[in-house]
Amino acid sequence: MNIAVAGSHGLIGNNLVTFFRKSNNHVSRIVRSKDQNGIFWDPSTGYINHEKLENFDVIINLCGEKIASLNPFFKNKDKLIESRVGTNLLLSKTISKLKNPPKYFISASATGIYEPSRKKITESSNLNQGFLSQLALEWEGASRFYNNNETKVVNLRLGQVLTENSFFYKSISNITKYLKISRFGNGRQRWPWVSINDLLGAIKFIIDSGQIEGPVNVASPKLLSCKEFLRIICLKNNSFNFIWVPKILIKLSTNKYSEEILLNDYPVFPEKLLTNGFSFKDNDLVSYVSNFN
């Protein structure tokens, strides 16, 4: 397959490029610097040479400014929007002009699009209101703004992607190791997560299926509460944790974005993937993180 990837130098992107190249696919990076190898683009000006994107089987957009920050004054709305909505709009518009468009346009999205719930959240569940959910909604809308009827569009509604070097894992690991935190709020809120291996496998599965499209939840079917998640990381760090952080303290000491990530209940279930026969390999978080250094 011929695959083009925007956002290829991020955590997911680097792993994705390596993963597909190992199975003898041709992977081109869509890059923002003319000094880098790849297809040059400049989303800030709307520039990309669409002829360079002809004849790709799949185009993947993983661009997105990091949202999570414990800084209470972090409000980087413009970059959050432009890095997601702006890049998707440009790629969607470019794909619509191609003589030989890709079979798939796959874009990252987020589980924060959903309304928090005590019941399992599937792809047909209610969507939330507020900045993060609207950001995700516009992010997805931009990916299909210019429809060519030849390209299937997939929006990967991602749980927290866990690797040894991921921002979320390192942040939670440090919080449990040094601050001895055992739960945020009541600790019963579910935190959607997925291993990098299962994410890459899911993307390949979607492409190989030739039929899956639309929003796809990419999160482990093994639902874990905040308390359970932190307990597992504590075991990994050989740490005894006992400090409870009340909801009001989180609201006062961090920003709205991190507050939603830490406190909202998101029992996200990958119904579409499972219904189509995908099998998750890393359902046991204890076993998965045991391989981390």
Q: Judge contact between 185 and 139, C-beta under 8 A.
A: no
- Encode 85-115: b = buried (16+ Cβ within 10 Å), e = exposed: bbbbbbbbebbbebeebbebbbbbbbbbbbe
Better-scored residue on pLDDT, 175 or 60: 60
What tokens appear for 233 in the block? 């990381």
What tokens appear for 180 in the block? 């001895």
What strand order describes the sheet that includes 26-31?
47-48, 39-42, 26-31, 2-6, 58-61, 104-110, 152-158, 214-218
> E strand or H helix at 153, and its extent?
strand 152-158
Q: How do strand 58-61 and strand 2-6 relate by DSSP bridges?
A: parallel
d(CA 106, CA 293): 32
Contacts of 275 (CB under 8 A, 6+ apart): none
Residue 134, by phi and psi: left (phi above 0), alpha (psi -120 to 50) or beta?
alpha
Segment 135-145 shows an average pLDDT of 96
DSSP conformational letter for 213: -
Better-scored residue on pLDDT, 76 or 259: 259
Where does the pLDDT of residue 66 fall: very low under 50, low under 70, confident under 90, or very high at 90 and above? confident
Quick check: 32 pLDDT over 70?
A: yes
Where does the pLDDT of residue 39 fall: very low under 50, low under 70, confident under 90, or very high at 90 and above? very high
pLDDT reported for residue 19: 98
d(CA 232, CA 202): 24
pLDDT reported for residue 147: 83
Quick check: 70 pLDDT over 80?
A: no
Average pLDDT, the chain: 94
Quick check: 51 pLDDT over 60?
A: yes
pLDDT reported for residue 251: 85
- The phi and psi torsions of 9 (rounded to 5 degrees) equal -100, 5
Quick check: 48 pLDDT over 80?
A: yes
Segment 103-128 shows an average pLDDT of 97
pLDDT in tens, 246-257: 999 988 888 788
Question: What is the residue extent of each domain of the chain?
Answer: 2-163+192-222+268-281
Asked if the 2-163+192-222+268-281 domain carries CATH number 3.40.50.720, the reply is yes
d(CA 193, CA 285): 9
Chain centroid to CA 80: how far?
14
Q: Judge contact between 60 and 50, C-beta under 8 A.
A: no
What tokens appear for 289 in the block? 């993180």
pTM (2 d.p.): 0.95
Q: Judge contact between 172 and 229, C-beta under 8 A.
A: yes
d(CA 5, CA 38): 10
